[in-house]
Amino acid sequence: MEANFNPDKQHTLCSAVSISGTGLHTGIMVDMTMKPANPGFGIQFQRVDLPNKPLIKADCDLVTDTSRGTTLQIDDAKISTIEHVLAALVGMGVDNILIEVNGPEIPIIDGSSEPFVTLIAKVGVLEQDAAKAWYSLDENIFLYDEDKRVEMVAMPAVDYQITTLIDFNSPVLGTQHAGLKTIKDFKTEIAPCRTFCFLHELETLLEHDLIKGGDINNAIVVVDKPVTDDEMNRLAKAFKRDKIEVKREGYLNNLELRFPNEPARHKLLDVIGDLALIGYPIKARIIANRPGHSTNVEFAKKIKQYIKKNKHVKDVPVYDPNLPPVFTLQQIEKTLPHRHPFLLVDKVIELTDKQIVGVKNVTFNEWFFPGHFPGNPVMPGVLQIEALAQTGGILCINSMPEGEYDTYFLKIDNCKFKQMVRPGDTMLLKMEMAAPIRRGICEMKGTVYVGGKVTTEAILVAQVVKRNT
């Protein structure tokens, strides 16, 4: 990332860029083109070689296979070995991108993220005029797989940090760990690290006609058991080499490690790539002990569920009753025609050209409680919508030129009541402009919060009309 990179803005590529290579497991030559995309598009793959050119979103809920990498699938369209390019996109701060491929697998190239990082750096990253919504955790999220002896935890943090630990009971690898304190270091510290496997795994894959695109130069092969000359000759023939040797450190061929703990760093790379499938940028400290693709994806699903369940919390307005209001009750009465008992906004605590937050203190003495319901007072949902409408009316009128206006609501869509409002509750009434006002028509998203929870939400459309005086 460049020094002037703004992490609070969405980014895409400055222009399209292409690369070709062989799929690790299929052996198919694939052409891949990364193209810029609009804000909010996210990361999507497109199989341009299939009828109707289906799109496949980078989403953990679409993962169908993690046995030899991470595979996404919608209907009959699939794309495999996506983790390395996803890690590169996260590491370079790319939020919105269309990745076109004419085959079922992302090219393996050298088995790391570095080729994709190089491509992205070549065309550059473009800042977009759209805010990036980060999601912070309020509590620890755990994943424990007893069978695989995998432990993963995501903890609240002010940045995105990852630590991985690996232990394969191997005399060659031993126990390794790797850490990334800031995503800004991904390009130099993590991206160059290649995938690895053990020799016995390699032999099994070859026997089953897998890793058709495999080469001893796109993976670190760990040899932690004695190997016969016949086995070495068979491997040399499989990889079309005259001779293959085992270095004294226990690695196949003449491959030089880029880092002493390159395998642990590559596991960290895989974690970044797989957690990109959450679909939300997160601020958290991730610690992963013995991670793998299957547990990475399960962990991504768990974090995604947490965010979806709690994402409204990040949007909850902060209400300090000790601070003076932006609009007092007297100012509200000068703006709106409503009066007691039908004025349902007590004060306004926030007002911009795009958003307003009003407050309604609900007391037992409200005129509607005796009839709704006797002995079980509940604020009618229609009056919650009316409170939102009045708050939105102030927002609309405040956006108009000088003069006196009234607002008449035309439509209510997607109205949902999620919690009951009772005496003693303080309602925070939030209205956000969904689109610029055109010809006096104003579309707004309304949300009622009580105690940090959403009670009511709806899309409201109003017409602003100048009063005849």
Give the residue from 270, 313, 324, 262 showing the smallest Cα distance to 293. Answer: 270
**CA atoms within 13 Å, Cβ hemisphere of 193:** 26
**CA–CA distance, 178 with 189 (Å, rounded to integer):** 10
Among 24, 134, 71, smallest CA distance to 274 is for: 71
Catalytic residues: 293, 372
Q: Which residues partner with 156 through β-bridges? A: 284
Of 265, 281, 285, 311, nearest in space to 93 by CA: 281
Q: Cα(73)–Cα(30) distance, rounded to whole angstroms?
A: 17
Alpha helices in 21-171 (DSSP H): 83-91, 114-123
Query: Within 13 A of 327's CA, how many CA atoms are on the CB side?
Result: 23
Q: Give me 440's structure tokens.
A: 């006096």
Q: Tell me the residue ranges of DSSP E strands in 85-185.
A: 97-101, 125-131, 135-136, 141-145, 150-156, 160-167, 175-180
Q: Which two tokens stand for residue 12?
A: 């895409």
Distance separating alpha carbons of residues 77 and 398, to the nearest angstrom = 50
Angle of helix 262-275 versus helix 83-91 axis, rounded to 10: 80
Phi, psi dihedrals of residue 249, rounded to the nearest 5°? -75, -15
Alpha carbons 403 and 398: distance in angstroms, whole number: 10
What three-state secondary structure class fits 61? helix
C-alpha separations of 69 from 23, 172, 209, 352 in Å? 11, 23, 16, 47
Contact 23, 107 (CB under 8 A): yes
d(CA 173, CA 423): 64
d(CA 51, CA 60): 24
As a whole number of angstroms, the distance between CA 57 and CA 142 comes to: 26
Helix, strand, coil shares, percent, the chain, to 5: 25, 35, 40
